[in-house]
Structure 1
Amino acid sequence: MSVTYTDDGELMAAPADVDSALGGVARRLDRFFDERRVTAREQGPSSLALWDALRDSATGGKKIRPRLVLNAHRLLSGVREDAACDVAVAVELLHTAFLVHDDVIDGDTRRRGRRNVIGQFHVDAQQRGASEAASRAWGEAAGILAGDLLIHAAQSMVGRLDLPSSIRVPLIDLFDESVMVTAAGELQDVGLTEGVLEASAVDVLAMAGRKTAHYSFRMPLRAGAILAGADAVVATQLDEFGHHAGIAFQLRDDLLGVWGRAEATGKSTSSDLRRATMTPLLAHALSTPVGEELRHALGLVDPRTFDAERARALLAASGARETMEQLIADHAAAARAVLERDLLPVELQRLLADTLRSARERSS
C-alpha cells in the first residue's frame, strides 16, 4: 500500500482498490440524488430545489468517513464489497445531514466556501421579495427538513441491505447509536456556548467526543468491522482508536477555526469567535488570567465590544493554543498505543496510522 502526503500533511492517496470503491460511492450518491429528484419534481419546485441544494451540500469534501468504512472492511478481509459501498454512502449522507443541522443551529449560510442549504433558500426568498425575517425562516426550515430527510434516507439505506440479520441489525443499531450520541453532543454544545450549562474543560472535551469523534471515526470503523465479520476484540480496538483520533481531529478543527486559512478551510476564521463557540480551546482560555478580558473581546459582556483580532491575540496569550496542541499530541499518542497492541492486520495498522497523522496535522 502506498500513501502520499502533501507538504501540509494531507492524506493524498488511498489503496488503488479503495479509490475504485470510492468512485462507486460517488456514482451511488449521484444515483441516489437523481432518484430523489424524480420524486421531488412531483411535489413541486420547492421540493426539487431542496434536493438540488442537498446534492450541492454532499458534493466535495475529503470523504474521510466513507474511506474509513471501505478500508476497515477490506483490510479486515471483508468480502461484502457491494454492501460496504452502500454503507459508505449512508455514512456520507448522515455526515451531510449533521452538517446541515449544524448550520441551522449556528445560523451559518455558507459551507465549504459556497452557499449552503440555508443560504440558497434565504437568497431565493429574498429574490421573491420576502422580508429578511421571512427569508431567514424559509432558509432555516429548509435546513431542518433537509437534514431530517437525509437521516431517514441513511437509516433506510442500511435497513434495506440484503445481508444476514446478524450483520444488518448491528449496523442499524450502530447508526441509531451514532444519531443519538451526536444529537446529545450537539445539544450539549449549544448549552455550553449559550451558558446554560457550566463550561468546565472536562465537559467541553467530552462534548467534542460526542459531537464529532463518534460519527466521524468510531462509527465508520465499526461499520467496516461489522461488515467484515470481525470479532469483538477487533471492534473494541477500532472503537478506542476512533475515539482518540476523532478528538485529535476535532481539536485541530477548533484551532483551524481561529488560526486557519479561510481559503483552505472554506470557513471564516471569525465565525466561531463571533459566536463564542465553547470549544476546549476557549474553555481553557476563559479559565486563565486573561479570561475576563477575553469575554469582553468576544462580546460576551457587551456585543458592541466584539473584536476578533483582539480575541485571537488573547487566546494566544492565554497559552490555550499550546495546551490544545499538547492535547492533540496526547490523544494521538493514545491512538498510536492502541495500534501497537498488534491485534489488527498490519496493512490496517499502517493505514490508521496515516489517517491519524492526517487528522492531527491537517490544514483544512
Structure 2
Amino acid sequence: MLAHDGHAQALWTAAGDATRGGRGVRPHLVHAAYRAFGGTDVRAATHVADAVELLHAAFVVHDDVIDGDDVRRGRPNVAGTFTARARSAGADGGAAHGYGRAAAILAGDLALVAATRAFATAPAPTRVVTALLDLLDETVALSAAGELADVRLALRVDRPTVGDALQVAELKTAAYSFALPLRAGALLAGADADVVAALDRAGRLVGVAFQLHDDLLGVFGDEHVTGKSAIGDLREGKVTALIAHARTTDSWPVVAAALGDPALTAERALAARVALVRCGSRAFVEDLAAQHLEAAREVARDAGLPDDVLAALLALVVDDPRVAA
C-alpha cells in the first residue's frame, strides 16, 4: 500500500529526477566485468546494475543534505524541490528548508532500502547473493567513513595532508563508484576471489585518479563543458589533494585567502588559480592521477585481468571529455 502513498511517490519521483542525467559509469562497469568473466545472462547483470544505481541515488541524495546543496547538475535536487514546494504552499524560509532537508533524508533512506532489496533478490545462486550482500555492507561502511572524513577535513581543526585527501577520495568515491560495480559484475559471473580482489585494487586506483581529475575540474575546468562551477569548490573550502599540496608551498597565503570564502569573486578565484599553478600544485595532482592510472595498469597486468575490463575502466578517465577540456 505504501508504494501508492502520495508522499512516498513524490519522494521517489524527486529522487529519480535529481539523479538523472549521469554518465552511467556504474552500470557500465557492472556489465563490462560480467561479460569479461563469461557472464551471459543480461537480465541478471541489469538487475545488479540497477541495484548499484539505487545505492548511488541514496548516496547522492544524502550527500547533498550533508553539503547543504539544493541543486545538482543545474536543477533542483530533492531538498531543493521540496523546499520550493513548501515555499509555494506559504511556509517561511526556515521551515521550508527544514521540510526540504527532511524529504531528502527520507528519499535517500528509501533508495538505500531499495538497493539492499535489489541486491538480496538478484537472480543468482544463494552463495553469490550472499557475496553481493557482503560487498554491499562493506561498501556502505567504507563510504560512510569517507563521507565523515570529508566533513572532518572541512572543519579546519586539522592540517590535512595529501594522503588524507587521497584516503577520502578512495573511501567516498572510488570504493563504491568503481570497485563496487566491477566486483559485483565479477561475482555475478562466478569469478575467483583473487580476480575480485584485483578488481577492487584496480577500481580504487582508477577511482582516485578520476576524483583527482574531478578536483582539478572543480577549480580549473570550463563550466560550459563540465557543468560545475569553477568557483564552488574554493568557496566551499573543499579540501582536496590540490589544496593539501598547496598548503605546503609558499603560495598558500593566496590560496588560503580564497578558500572557504562564501563571497569569493571571480577575480580572487583567478588569483588563487594562478597561485596553484605557480606553486606546482596543479602539476603535482596531474602527475599523481597519472601515477594511479599506471598503478592500475600494473595491477591488471599482474592479475591477468581481461583487456576489456581495463579498457572500460581507464576510458572513464582517459576519454573523459571534461578532462580533455
TM-score w.r.t. length of structure 1: 0.83
Asked if structure 1 preserves the Cα contact closer than 8 Å seen for 2:238 and 2:260, the reply is: no
Q: Distance in 1 between matches of 2:287 and 2:321?
A: 11
Cα distance, 1:360 vs structure 2 = 9.6
Q: Distance in 1 between matches of 2:310 and 2:229?
A: 35
State the number of aligned residues. 323
> Percentage identity across aligned positions?
46
Distance 1:52 1:118, change over 3 A: same
In the alignment, is residue 233 of structure 1 matched against residue 194 of structure 2? yes
Cα distance, 1:335 vs structure 2 = 1.1
Q: Distance in 2 between matches of 1:284 and 1:350?
A: 30
Which whole-Å deviations, capped at 9, do the CAs of 1:238-284 have from their partners, x for residues lacking one?
11110110000000110111111223322222221111111111111
Query: In the alignment, what sits opposite 2:283?
Result: 322
Superposition RMSD in Å = 2.1
In the alignment, is residue 179 of structure 1 matched against residue 140 of structure 2? yes
Query: In the alignment, what sits opposite 2:99?
Result: 138
Distance 1:176 1:197, change over 3 A: farther
Pairwise mapping of residues 46-125 of structure 1 onto structure 2 (< 5 A)?
Answer: 46-125=7-86
Which whole-Å deviations, capped at 9, do the CAs of 1:17-65 have from their partners, x for residues lacking one?
xxxxxxxxxxxxxxxxxxxxx84442x3x43322211120232111010
Query: What is the SS of the residue equivalent to 2:319?
Result: helix
Query: In the alignment, what sits opposite 1:243?
Result: 204
Cα distance, 1:197 vs structure 2 = 4.0
Moved over 4 A (4+): 303-306
Distance 1:140 1:69, change over 3 A: same
Query: In the alignment, what sits opposite 1:8?
Result: none
Distance 1:115 1:263, change over 3 A: farther
Asked if structure 1 preserves the Cα contact closer than 8 Å seen for 2:217 and 2:323, the reply is: no
Asked if structure 1 preserves the Cα contact closer than 8 Å seen for 2:203 and 2:313, the reply is: no
| Range with bigger deviation, 149-158 or 349-358 | 349-358
Of 198, 214, 218, the residue aligned with 1:257 is: 218
Query: In the alignment, what sits opposite 2:318?
Result: 357
Q: Distance in 2 between matches of 1:131 and 1:77?
A: 57
Asked if structure 1 preserves the Cα contact closer than 8 Å seen for 2:30 and 2:184, the reply is: yes
Of 236, 261, 267, the residue aligned with 2:228 is: 267
Q: Distance in 2 between matches of 1:280 and 1:147?
A: 28
Asked if structure 1 preserves the Cα contact closer than 8 Å seen for 2:206 and 2:313, the reply is: no
Query: In the alignment, what sits opposite 1:276?
Result: 237
Distance 1:82 1:311, change over 3 A: same
Asked if structure 1 preserves the Cα contact closer than 8 Å seen for 2:234 and 2:260, the reply is: no
Q: Distance in 1 between matches of 2:260 and 2:114?
A: 40
Query: In the alignment, what sits opposite 1:214?
Result: 175
Give the counterpart letter for 2:248 in structure 1. S
Query: In the alignment, what sits opposite 1:333?
Result: 294
Asked if structure 1 preserves the Cα contact closer than 8 Å seen for 2:226 and 2:322, the reply is: no
Query: In the alignment, what sits opposite 1:159?
Result: 120
Which whole-Å deviations, capped at 9, do the CAs of 1:139-173 have from their partners, x for residues lacking one?
11111111111111101111122322210001001
Cα distance, 1:345 vs structure 2 = 2.9
Q: Distance in 1 between matches of 2:17 and 2:312?
A: 30
Q: Which runs of 5+ in 2 are unaligned?
A: none
Distance 1:218 1:238, change over 3 A: same
Distance 1:239 1:305, change over 3 A: closer
Give the counterpart letter for 1:96 in structure 2. A
TM-score w.r.t. length of structure 2: 0.92
Q: Which runs of 5+ in 1 are unaligned?
A: 1-37
Asked if structure 1 preserves the Cα contact closer than 8 Å seen for 2:174 and 2:207, the reply is: yes
Asked if structure 1 preserves the Cα contact closer than 8 Å seen for 2:198 and 2:303, the reply is: no
Q: Distance in 2 between matches of 1:247 and 1:360?
A: 18
